[in-house]
Structure 1
Amino acid sequence: MRPGCCAGSEIDAGTAPGRTSDDAARIAELERAELEREVRELRRVNEVLETASVFFAAAELDRKSSSV
């Protein structure tokens, strides 16, 4: 073992300082959940932008065809 480095089992047992396996798993789960929320929001925003793009493209075509 390297100096200043403790085995995970020592940290989990509370005999060495550091983040326990349970804490690390809990943090990873929270980060995963936050990333999933962010992906859902980005997909929703993307749908809105795609819908708006279609709307404005159609309006531009209507404008061009009525001015001819």
Structure 2
Amino acid sequence: MGGLAEDVAVPEPYPREFRDDVMRVARDRDPGVTVEQIAKDCGVHPMTLCTWLRQADIDAGTRPGVSGSDQLGDYASASKIRSMVTAPSRCTSVFSQGDQG
């Protein structure tokens, strides 16, 4: 039974050093050179580079938003909440099976 998740190729994240180098080139670009040109030259999608630049500004505190480390905490909390919500339903199904015999 092939689900959608099995059919979608998820790209590997770019290495941190590569992202840092591309962002440095984008920030130090000459006048008239666009972020799109740099992204194309480096083999990344322009929106990806814009996202990296925006998140770096947020992490540096120069732009409002949720820092990368805060996002990781939010993901962990959401995962815990999901497991707490689904655990009782699993227990209920186990106990209800025992009542049938």
Fold conserved (TM > 0.5)? yes
Structure 1 residue ranges, 4+ long, deviating more than 2 angstroms after superposition: none
Q: Over aligned residues, Cα RMSD in angstroms?
A: 1.8
Distance (whole Å) between structure 2 residues aligned to residue 53 and residue 11 of structure 1: 56
- SS of the equivalent of 2:96 reads helix
Bigger Rg over Cα: 1
Amino acid in the other structure paired with 2:95:
V
Within the candidate set 78, 83, 91, 1:31 is matched to 78
Q: Which residue of 1 aligns with 2:44?
A: none
Higher helix share goes to which structure? 1
Which of 88, 91, 94 is the aligned partner of 1:47?
Answer: 94
Tell me how far apart the structure 1 counterparts of residues 66 and 100 of structure 2 sit (CA, whole Å).
48
Partner residue, 2:64 = 17
Q: What is the deviation of 1:42?
A: 1.3
Runs of 5+ consecutive residues of structure 1 not aligned to the other structure: 55-68
TM-score, normalised to structure 1, is 0.64
Within 2, Cα distance between the matches of 1:18 and 1:34? 23
Residue 57 (structure 1) aligns with? none
Identity of matched residues, %: 17
